[in-house]
Chain A
């Protein structure tokens, strides 16, 4: 999922305003250091941090959560899309995209890389390669002062006969790892705790779809973000290696079960 760019700009702005207001305090000297070294990605701070990248991470953490699980025969991705207005046309702000027939992801540079690979080498791009290239691209944006890092944690998923199901997540810094299950966004800690309880490697895609929906509904903050949609997609044996949105009936069933599970929990509290 990606944070809107307005979030990252807003975050940066509020930081600098806060710091100039602290001029008189004793903490000034420490904050001043941050002030000097956080304005461009081309500078390290004295303690070896690149603040711009950390701010980009903060931008991601304030966005809607995403949950992705790799199971024995595929990968399922779910996104909590927080709607800021009731007037939005449903499903017009898609957050999960197809990169190539067999890969689902969330930035479009990946499309160029995937199709170039196919053009040059004649086969589907292995996800590890694609993740490496996209990560290198994102990392490049953390090196220069003339651009800012992407405020995005990108999740890449694919399924192929050769490599099986694969799941990668790339952070704004350009670091990436392969995962059995991963989360990003607002409720990533809570979602992570839930994910650790699931033994996804023994489950099929259909079962995992229900889990993903359940977790998103569980960690969703009813009070702060009343309006939200859940976008679910999968790629695996069940789709013949093609990445696509989960069919409406299965998705609706999963969401219904998730809502019921929530209500059951509420009852238990009595």
Chain B
């Protein structure tokens, strides 16, 4: 998931990659770098999303060279969208493109399965997201501070992990601002617990 705040964005994800019931990777990093100030959260087929993210990072880097400036988050999400829409019949990829640029500050764009692209103040995705729509809608407040956003995302991901079998592992959090990315990891007994029985 990703949340905008004044000055940047907070992104978070779990760390489970599964193949059926086998957990292939329990410490996956689903927060993938596109540029120093633009990241994406990957959900769906790991192969598809990795391939797309690589291509987008490459194109955006080339674009950055031509432009001689840092690319915009909107540009990155447009390239994501073009690819996800063009190959929509072959891909299974739900992507959240979030980051900071100097024109519009922190932005979150979500590109779900069909390849549409829309900017939202916060968004959730992936299999575990279905269980936390209620929580997120109830607990999101506009104009939250960076720390409030981090707390919000941490709790939301923890709840999703608790209910969804395809989600688990550690909680990876990151805050992206003009200074780049600031990553944290929440694991083991530090993961928030809620009603358990």
Contacts and interface: CB of A to CB of B under 8 A. Distances in A.
Interface of A: 120-123, 126, 128-129, 132, 162
Secondary structure dominating the interface of A: helix
Contacts of A132: 66
A98 to B, nearest CB: 23
Contact of A120 (B72, B74, B78, B103): B78
Contacts of A162: 103
Which applies to chain B's interface (DSSP): helix, strand, loop or mixed? helix
A121 B78 contact: yes
Nearest to B74: A122
Q: Which 7 pairs, one residue from A and one from B, show the smallest C-beta to C-beta distance?
A: A122-B78, A121-B75, A122-B74, A121-B78, A122-B75, A162-B103, A123-B74
A129 B78 contact: no
Q: How large is the interface on B (under 10, 10 to 19, 20 to 34, 35 or more residues)?
A: 10 to 19
A128 B68 CA distance: 10
Contacts of B27: none
A123 B67 contact: no
18 contacts: A120-B78, A120-B79, A120-B82, A121-B63, A121-B75, A121-B78, A122-B74, A122-B75, A122-B77, A122-B78, A123-B72, A123-B75, A123-B78, A126-B67, A128-B68, A129-B66, A132-B66, A162-B103
Contacts of B72: 123
Nearest to A121: B75
B67 A129 contact: yes
Given A122-B74, A123-B75, A126-B67, 15 more contacts: A120-B79, A120-B82, A121-B63, A121-B75, A121-B78, A121-B79, A122-B75, A122-B77, A122-B78, A123-B72, A123-B74, A123-B78, A128-B68, A129-B67, A162-B103
Nearest to B77: A122
A122 B79 CA distance: 8
B86 to A, nearest CB: 12
A124 to B, nearest CB: 11
Interface in B39-82: 63, 66-68, 72, 74-75, 77-79, 82
Interface string B87-108: 0000000000000000100000
Nearest to B117: A122
